[in-house]
Copies of this chain bind each other. A is one copy, B any other.
Amino acid sequence: MNEILSATGQGQTVSETVYRSLKMDILSGVIPSGSALLTRDLLARYDCGISPLREALARLVGEQFLEATSHRGVKVPQPSISDVEDVYRIRIALEREALALALTHGDDEWEGEIIATCHRMEKATLPDHVADQPTSIIEWEIRHRAFHHSLIKAAPSPRLLKLIDQMVDQTERYRALRLTGMDRAKIQGDVAAEHRKLMELVLARDPASLDFLSQHLDRTRVAVISILSER
């Protein structure tokens, strides 16, 4: 027990730690979709008692990262086309709203953050040999997410931002799918141009940025679905 606490580093609770680990394992695909999670396996895997595990499972079920059927345990939901559409639809509706708010309320610091995160994202597309720390495509993904987050960060709506975060988390499950056929060349080309354009529109507080963002997200949706339906 002391080991667990020291392992977490901070004064986090055990259930919080288990929650994070389990969520990461689900999103990263370590636990394959459709597989049922056996209680005793989970207890061994995360080395904790029943109570924190149950609390973590309850939270994940509430956030729809897991499905629970009475007396038959929990399982990772199978990805479906209709679910992808559902998630992206909500995400687009909410991000539109958030961006509209950000355009109204954003200040200089907000603008600076956008430029900074965009810069970091573009840097992650450069060849590795110059950088001290090689940047992988995963690293680009992380910075990509940070960029999108920075656009709407100025929206004075904590609930809205939190919901968007949840929806983005949901799409994380399809990360591998999204990145299929998306090599460094493509990121340096089309995608980079699109992000540049988006940033310019946002910094200019152009209302057209709303539609542009919607279309940008919708293109991702279409890509994910087309890959998903080829199976």
Contacts and interface: CB of A to CB of B under 8 A. Distances in A.
Nearest to A167: B159
Given A58-B59, A59-B58, A90 B11 contact: no
A73 to B, nearest CB: 13
Protomer copies: 2
A141 to B, nearest CB: 23
- Interface secondary structure of A, over-half rule: helix
A70 B163 contact: no
A82 B156 contact: yes
Contact of A54 (B55, B86, B158): B55
Given A55-B54, A59-B62, A62-B59, A94 B86 contact: no
A160 interface: yes
A163 B90 contact: yes
Given A51-B54, A55-B54, A62-B63, A90 B97 contact: yes
A11 B70 contact: yes
A89 interface: yes
A72 to B, nearest CB: 12
A13 interface: yes
A180 to B, nearest CB: 24
A97 B88 CA distance: 12
Contacts of A83: 159
Contacts of A12: 70
Interface in A58-84: 58-59, 62-64, 70, 82-83
A137 interface: no
21 contacts: A12-B70, A51-B54, A55-B55, A58-B59, A58-B62, A59-B62, A62-B63, A64-B159, A86-B158, A86-B159, A86-B160, A89-B97, A89-B101, A89-B157, A90-B97, A90-B157, A90-B163, A93-B94, A93-B97, A94-B94, A163-B163
Interface of A: 11-13, 51, 54-55, 58-59, 62-64, 70, 82-83, 86-87, 89-90, 93-94, 96-97, 101, 156-160, 163
Which 5 A-B residue pairs are closest in the complex by CB-CB distance?
Answer: A62-B62, A93-B97, A86-B159, A86-B157, A93-B93
